[in-house]
Amino acid sequence: MHERECTVSYSATQTGWYGVAIQIEDFNSTGSMEALSSVPLQFLVVVFRSNTTCASKPTFVEPTRIDGSCIGIPFNTTYFEPIISNSGSQTVSIREIQTASPQGMVKSELDVYANREWYVNISWTPDTGQAGPHIFCYTALDSNGANSDSICIRLLVGVSPPDIVEVHPVGDLFPNHSTWTIKFDKQFEQPNRTTYMYFKENDTDAVIYKIDISTSKDAHFPQGAIEKTLIVNTNFEFTEKKHYYVNLDPGAARGRTNDCKVESSPIRNKTFWKFRIRDVTKPELSFISRQKATNGNITVSWTFNEPVTSKCTIVKPDATEKANCTDYWSGDNLKEGFYTLFIFGTDLEGNQADVGKYEFQIDTTPPDIFINDKPHDISKHRQFTFSLSCNENCSTYCSLYEEGSFPTYVICNLFNTMFSLKDNTTYVFLVKAVDAVGNEGNSTLYRFKTDFTPPSMTTLVNQTLMCGADFNPNITGIPIVTDNNPNGTNIIYTDSVGKNCGIQRVWTATDAAGNEAI
């Protein structure tokens, strides 16, 4: 027998039915010997064997009020709450939720609430004659015959609990916001049992932070005679751009009432106290364009990691201008020179990105190509390597073709471009250059002819002259020379003195291509 708790406990050893008789008496004081009232109570207890463990007995779950709760019910209002019980396992169901209630309380039929959960709704509209405290108890019974712990709460008719009139803050907050206030309509006291304030993600309903305001030093209850505000401090970094809401256990504030301290209502609605965490991170810019030089037209494109409003400034060789832009900027027919594009991005919450800077060059001048090594205008070489140079970084295209036909350009090397040639053919060598931005220079042309055949020279007969006679070629004779290209043919001789005043004369003919005949 536990007199203060008004409970009786018994460890059963045998099955069967047992009768229990209790005499309930109250006294004026603990030292008084004369009872003010005495009420007998008898009931039956059945003890049976079961494979169900005590840990598998039914339990009550939120939002069911816990044992010892004190609820204020103002006059002309209806008390309404669900009582929800959870079975011990999937194979067990709740068969009944038994109640011991004040006169006039209505209990609904038992129904399924969720997986392994059953409930009844309780409603009571007390009249003025029922003012004062009332005891309300409930117990769940499962299909195995196991009972839950009995829950008893006190209902104070004619008493208003502390009601929440304002919560702060709401709306958009910074990630490190740490001060939360709840204003009630009347003075209140600190709870004397575990009472949590929950911060939950709106999308998942997951609890990301909670604080027991009954014991935490970060929960500040009013100290003065007129203060009605609870202030809670948190130490948590919320995630940017996410939505959250606050829930609060019942009894966060207890009214200053005599019989029991009436508890404030819970906050279980996810829309009552909601907030969003602001975006405080500046946007990040990434360039998509990689072009650093063009010949007059350019489009610079970029992307941000979130929606932004972009503004641009373009620094030209001769002016600085503001320019309209979104996620790109285009320029057409630009003047030659160096340009710098500055990009200013601001996200929807006013965070400014680091200024983007994109530099590029406009080059409208075509390149010049030069032929450094080339064959003679009449050449005896069967192969020849052209050597070229360009006044800037460029690609070269050349064509060697017989005069009278059409050129076909191929990519050629500046320093080593070799061609095989045919005899007695007039060739045209064309070369052009294209720079890195696509400017194409004028073609450079060189015309030459091939001649691989040496000239023909007639043979002179040997002559006998007297010693001391004139042996000038005009007297002794000059060979006749013929060639494919008569222009530029040259003939020379060399004399060598032999024995007995003999002279050996060797004639050499060289044509314009350098071919020799002896």
Peptide bond preceding 63: is omega within 30 degrees of 0, i.e. cis?
yes
54-157 matches 285-361 in fold: yes
In tens digits, the chain (518 residues) has pLDDT values of 777 667 788 888 888 998 999 888 888 887 888 888 999 989 888 887 777 677 789 999 999 999 999 999 999 999 999 999 999 888 899 999 999 999 999 999 999 999 999 999 999 999 999 999 999 999 999 998 888 999 999 999 999 999 999 999 999 999 999 999 999 999 999 999 999 999 999 999 999 999 999 999 999 999 877 889 999 999 999 999 999 999 999 999 999 888 899 999 999 999 999 999 999 999 999 999 888 999 999 999 999 999 999 999 999 999 999 999 999 999 999 999 999 999 999 999 999 999 999 999 999 999 999 999 888 889 999 888 888 999 999 999 999 999 999 999 999 887 766 788 899 999 999 999 999 999 999 999 999 999 999 999 898 888 877 777 788 888 888 999 998 887 788 999 998 877 777 778 889 999 988 999 88
Q: What integer pLDDT is reported at residue 30 of this predicted model?
A: 76
Q: What integer pLDDT is reported at residue 302 of this predicted model?
A: 97
Q: What integer pLDDT is reported at residue 416 of this predicted model?
A: 64
Q: What integer pLDDT is reported at residue 83 of this predicted model?
A: 98
- Is CATH 3.40.47.10 the right assignment for the domain spanning 285-361? no
Domain ranges of the chain: 1-49, 54-157, 164-277, 285-361, 369-450, 456-517
Is 263 in contact with 71 (CB distance < 8 Å)? yes
pLDDT in tens, 211-240: 999 999 999 999 877 889 999 999 999 999
Q: What integer pLDDT is reported at residue 5 of this predicted model?
A: 67
With H, G, I as helix, E, B as strand and everything else as coil, classify residue 130: helix
Q: What integer pLDDT is reported at residue 420 of this predicted model?
A: 86
Strand partners, 129: none
Which CATH code is given to the segment(s) 54-157? 2.60.40.60
Which residues make Cβ contacts (< 8 Å) with residue 29, sequence separation at least 6?
none
Q: What integer pLDDT is reported at residue 26 of this predicted model?
A: 85
DSSP codes, 150-175: PEEEEEEET-PPP-EEEEE--EEE-T
CA 222, CA 186: separation in Å to the nearest integer? 11
CA 249, CA 210: separation in Å to the nearest integer? 11
Q: What integer pLDDT is reported at residue 487 of this predicted model?
A: 79
User: Which CATH entry fits the domain spanning 369-450: 2.60.40.10, 3.40.50.300, 3.90.1150.10, 3.30.70.580?
Assistant: 2.60.40.10
Q: Which fold has domain 164-277?
A: Immunoglobulin-like (2.60.40)
Q: How many Cβ atoms are within 10 Å of 438's Cβ, its own excluded?
A: 13
Which residues make Cβ contacts (< 8 Å) with residue 431, sequence separation at least 6?
369, 371, 386, 388, 396, 397, 398, 399, 412, 443, 444
